[in-house]
């Protein structure tokens, strides 16, 4: 005669909860979820800074050619103010940086890029920080004031290949 054993209701409940938790915590898209992929664009990789109605987006410091002590600040600056402003100067790691044209006019509603697909550059030629470190950067605007932010240093590879100081480092 077969002996019938009954399972404890508590054991059945525990097994059901364990199975349910695996289903609820799994990712629907698996390894192709958008959270595991890096964008093909340069957006979202850098830090942001704002002072008044001036916003600097996607700030990154791209190291110069191997053997140089240079770095290029890649960013986009947007003037959300109804009045024009000017970028008067930049400091990278506490030292003055070279800005193409010395000052850059920022018209109302204008967006100006530096270092990437641009004719404008912000460079330091006395740079010593290692890649993957954060370096203090200060952007001084005539009307808005000074925006201060710590910016990541990246090597000139991948998306950042070809970004280098203009004029070139000596």
Contacts 24+ apart (CB under 8 A), 100-103: 100/166
Q: Rounded to an integer, what distance in angstroms lies between the CA atom of residue 67 and that of residue 88?
A: 29
* pLDDT one-digit tens code per residue, 118-136: 889 999 998 888 888 999 9
Total number of domains constituting the chain: 1
- What is the full DSSP assignment across 45-76? SSEEEEETTEEEEEEEEEE-STT---EEEEEE
What pTM was estimated for this model as a whole? 0.72
pLDDT of residue 169: 63
Phi-psi region of 132 (alpha: psi -120 to 50; beta: other; left: phi over 0): left
CATH at residue 98: 2.60.40.1890
Q: What is the mean predicted confidence (pLDDT) over 97-120?
A: 90
Percent of the chain with pLDDT over 70: 79
Domain that holds residue 81: 47-160
Q: Which residue has the higher pLDDT, 7 or 80?
A: 80
How many residues does the structure list for the chain?
A: 170
Find out whether 118 and 104 touch, Cβ atoms under 8 Å: no
Instruction: Tell whether 42 is covered by a domain.
Output: no
Instruction: Tell whether 144 is covered by a domain.
Output: yes
Question: Can you tell me whether residue 92 is helix, strand or coil?
Answer: strand
Instruction: Tell whether 11 is covered by a domain.
Output: no
* pLDDT one-digit tens code per residue, 18-75: 777 666 665 555 555 444 444 443 344 789 999 999 999 999 999 998 888 999 999 9
Phi-psi region of 115 (alpha: psi -120 to 50; beta: other; left: phi over 0): left
Q: Is the peptide bond before 39 cis (omega within 30 degrees of 0)?
A: no
Position 10 confidence tier, pLDDT thresholds 50, 70, 90: confident
Instruction: Kindly tell me if the per-residue pLDDT of 155 is higher than 60.
Output: yes
Question: Can you tell me whether residue 86 is helix, strand or coil?
Answer: strand
Q: Which residue has the higher pLDDT, 97 or 12?
A: 97
Q: What is the mean predicted confidence (pLDDT) over 78-95?
A: 96
Instruction: Tell whether 86 is covered by a domain.
Output: yes
Find out whether 156 and 65 touch, Cβ atoms under 8 Å: yes
């Amino acid at each position: 005669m077969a002996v019938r054993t009954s399972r404890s209701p508590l054991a059945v409940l525990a097994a059901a909860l364990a199975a349910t938790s695996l289903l609820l915590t799994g990712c629907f898209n698996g390894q192709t979820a958008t959270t595991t992929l890096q964008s093909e664009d340069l957006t979202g990789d850098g830090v942001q800074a704002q002072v008044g109605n001036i916003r600097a987006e996607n700030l990154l410091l791209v190291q110069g050619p191997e053997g140089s002590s240079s770095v290029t600040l890649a960013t986009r600056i947007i003037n959300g103010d109804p009045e024009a402003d000017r970028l008067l100067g930049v400091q990278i790691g506490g030292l003055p940086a070279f800005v193409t044209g010395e000052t850059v006019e920022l018209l109302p509603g204008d967006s100006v890029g530096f270092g990437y697909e641009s004719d404008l550059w912000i460079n330091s030629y006395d740079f010593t920080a290692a890649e993957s470190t954060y370096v203090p950067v200060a952007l001084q605007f005539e009307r808005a004031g000074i925006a201060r932010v710590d910016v990541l240093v990246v090597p000139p590879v991948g998306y950042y290949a070809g970004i280098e100081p203009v004029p070139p480092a000596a």
